[in-house]
Chain A
């Protein structure tokens, strides 16, 4: 069962989140701060639109020829001394990683932040085999210690405040000074001391992948804290797990994404650390490198010609920070590894509408996400496309009842009326007459009968006394 299937539908989960004033405060602060900073650093780049278009086009090239690039990547990584593994789904991916770890006889691994292994629930799968995976990104550590779920792609623990994090460290870490304050500096220092021992002594590291270059076999991790560098350089064995869509064709193409990603994500000109490695290097870093190529629903997304563009995503989180819905509900309400606008399309595309059918509606279709997307994913277009599929699904699933549902019949009737000028004008005239008992103070706040649900959340403007067409006809 997928996450989305275990999780309540979005409207229900959103209601809970909206009642949490601490959450709304933290999120409002975070999204507005990053949003403003992003706008500043993007405005510095005179060729931003050209970079966006190149970023989009390169992903289109990769996706339309994904089989070619997967094979090219595989042979380049092998030629550089790495091993390549293929995983059809989460379970297979987790088994491959677990087998490699077990083969080295260790029961502890260090892990840098990876949404893909969050998606596959790798830590839980390793725990079942008696392997402890330590999250080393500060926010991921906070999530892990609290047995919590990430609520934002970039800052996963943004729903927690400093006092809560201090509490967590006091109760869950054994080497914490009793007078630890809730100053973020001190908290980060505590995490540093705790993790350093692990970094120096752990023989197997696990990472995600931001970009994998098919041409050279180069794999990259983009980060800020240095935990990614620790995980990818200090252990003897490195296992990196990537979705099959994370490929870029050539080394040169990094020049595009290394400009788009940092500015869109952390709103920096460049993130503190980017590691790019090619197989294994003699005398420097791990002696063994394993790259796991994961499908887990991505080929379903690829098969959807409208939805395919969702695989352009470079996980920057710019769409979360501008989304009026995400800003208020936070990430947990989406019930998925991928929250916000991108999650609202990616989750149902990956795991099917039966599990995540409410997510395409978690949007006002305002289009802000499309405007900021560094790889130009037309999220509103995909949302509407998925809504259409959801409606067709429920109609098909409901048999004759589904086909004759009130909403469906009303939409059919409306489509007929809107398509015919005479019917449309007649409807306007009769609406003008019929609406008078409903209009109060220039708006309709409550509709009768089965339409009441629609007006419980919004007001409707009344049909005006004179329509534009009437005015046009009668103008002198």
Chain B
């Protein structure tokens, strides 16, 4: 291995001369006496999620599970979207009508591992429709895990509008609950994870909050109940 690697490890070990040789990492006690689950009733969690999303300038609607497709179509019309990209495994009944729907799939016959739409192609698209892996009520966060209904990371980044469908059973109360849900997919398959809380924002100029700097300007969350 590299000389730099050897030298840095040697420096670390000599800097830690005070740590007893027999000490194991787990000997350093970490008390996890913080909250790790929130057993409030689902209705309360959903209400909290809605309030927190709105607080950070996302739009939220609660819709009946059977009417998600209609709600997506209506949202597309209201937001003035003409072409939308959808996550590869978006359920067929969530597909909007009245707009051009572009699938995010590699060209037929493309090399294995090829991506779907290019970034420039996505730049010509008005919005993206996806599901999610979980939603955190306390922080108003949507969790995407890069697969299936969540779509590739780029599709929820480049277009200016993001419509995200959250199943009510996907709503958890606290950050630790969402992290725990993601653990198997990250540990076993190394899926990329994105946590989204409201639209893109910046407060860099005189602390004035501006929405829509680089990521989507509008985030609409549909909670399917």
Question: Are B213 and A227 in contact, CB atoms less than 8 angstroms apart?
Answer: yes
Question: Are A155 and B203 in contact, CB atoms less than 8 angstroms apart?
Answer: yes
Q: How many residues of B contact A (CB 8 A)?
A: 82
User: B9 is contacted by which of A70, A188, A258 (Cβ under 8 Å)?
Assistant: A70
Kindly specify which of A61-69, A414-422, A460-468 makes contact with the partner chain.
A61-69
Asked if A369 is at the interface of the complex by the 8 Å CB criterion, the answer is no
Asked if A378 is at the interface of the complex by the 8 Å CB criterion, the answer is no
Q: Measured between alpha carbons, how far is A172 from B216 in the docked complex, in Å?
A: 26
Q: How many residues of A contact B (CB 8 A)?
A: 100
Question: Are B12 and A50 in contact, CB atoms less than 8 angstroms apart?
Answer: no
Question: Are A67 and B205 in contact, CB atoms less than 8 angstroms apart?
Answer: no
Asked if B200 is at the interface of the complex by the 8 Å CB criterion, the answer is yes
Q: Measured between alpha carbons, how far is A87 from B56 in the docked complex, in Å?
A: 40
Known contacts: A68-B25, A229-B157. The answer to whether A271 contacts B16 by CB under 8 A is no
Asked if A309 is at the interface of the complex by the 8 Å CB criterion, the answer is no
Kindly specify which of B67-75, B90-98, B187-195 makes contact with the partner chain.
B187-195
Question: Are A224 and B201 in contact, CB atoms less than 8 angstroms apart?
Answer: yes
Question: Are A199 and B119 in contact, CB atoms less than 8 angstroms apart?
Answer: yes
When each residue 174-188 of chain B gets 1 if its CB lies under 8 Å from chain A and 0 otherwise, what string results? Answer: 011001101100110
B96 CB → nearest A CB, Å: 23
Select from chain B the residue with minimum beta-carbon distance to A294: B8
Asked if B114 is at the interface of the complex by the 8 Å CB criterion, the answer is yes
Asked if B167 is at the interface of the complex by the 8 Å CB criterion, the answer is no
Asked if A3 is at the interface of the complex by the 8 Å CB criterion, the answer is no
Known contacts: A65-B25, A188-B205, A216-B187. The answer to whether A225 contacts B12 by CB under 8 A is no
Residues in B12-34 with C-beta less than 8 Å from chain A: 12-16, 18-19, 23-26, 28-34
Question: Are B183 and A284 in contact, CB atoms less than 8 angstroms apart?
Answer: no
Interface residues of A (CB under 8 A from B): 26, 29-30, 33-34, 46-47, 50-51, 53-54, 57-58, 60-61, 64-71, 80, 85-88, 92, 136-139, 142, 155-158, 161-162, 165, 184-185, 187-188, 191-192, 195-196, 199-201, 215-218, 224-227, 229-230, 233-234, 244, 249, 251-252, 254-256, 258-259, 262, 266, 268-279, 281-285, 287, 293, 295, 299-300, 302-303, 305
Interface residues of B (CB under 8 A from A): 2, 4-5, 7-9, 11-16, 18-19, 23-26, 28-36, 52, 56, 106, 112-116, 119-120, 123, 136, 138-141, 146, 152-154, 157-158, 175-176, 179-180, 182-183, 186-187, 190-208, 210, 212-216
A67 CB → nearest B CB, Å: 5
Question: Are B202 and A266 in contact, CB atoms less than 8 angstroms apart?
Answer: no
Question: Are A273 and B215 in contact, CB atoms less than 8 angstroms apart?
Answer: yes
Q: Measured between alpha carbons, how far is A277 from B144 in the docked complex, in Å?
A: 12
Q: Measured between alpha carbons, how far is A218 from B189 in the docked complex, in Å?
A: 11
- Given known contacts A67-B16, A229-B157, what 6 new A-B pairs fall within 8 Å (CB)? A70-B9, A158-B207, A201-B120, A226-B216, A273-B196, A284-B152
User: B183 is contacted by which of A61, A227, A252, A287 (Cβ under 8 Å)?
Assistant: A252
Question: Are A224 and B5 in contact, CB atoms less than 8 angstroms apart?
Answer: no
Question: Are A200 and B8 in contact, CB atoms less than 8 angstroms apart?
Answer: no
Question: Are B19 and A51 in contact, CB atoms less than 8 angstroms apart?
Answer: no
Question: Are A258 and B215 in contact, CB atoms less than 8 angstroms apart?
Answer: no
A314 CB → nearest B CB, Å: 15
Q: Measured between alpha carbons, how far is A249 from B27 in the docked complex, in Å?
A: 13
B125 CB → nearest A CB, Å: 13
B108 CB → nearest A CB, Å: 15
Select from chain A the residue with minimum beta-carbon distance to B190: A278
Q: Measured between alpha carbons, how far is A17 from B208 in the docked complex, in Å?
A: 24
Question: Are B152 and A283 in contact, CB atoms less than 8 angstroms apart?
Answer: yes
Q: Measured between alpha carbons, how far is A282 from B111 in the docked complex, in Å?
A: 11
Question: Are B34 and A47 in contact, CB atoms less than 8 angstroms apart?
Answer: yes
Can you pick out 5 interface pairs between chain A and chain B where the beta carbons lie within 8 Å of each other? A64-B19, A65-B25, A269-B197, A278-B190, A284-B152
Which residues of B sit under 8 angstroms from A66, Cβ to Cβ?
12, 16
Which residues of A sit under 8 angstroms from B30, Cβ to Cβ?
54, 57-58, 61
Q: Which 10 A-B pairs have the closest CB atoms?
A: A226-B215, A278-B190, A226-B214, A303-B15, A270-B139, A299-B11, A255-B176, A139-B204, A61-B28, A302-B15
Q: Measured between alpha carbons, how far is A165 from B206 in the docked complex, in Å?
A: 10
Which residues of B sit under 8 angstroms from A256, Cβ to Cβ?
34
Select from chain B the residue with minimum beta-carbon distance to A230: B214
Q: Measured between alpha carbons, how far is A83 from B153 in the docked complex, in Å?
A: 21
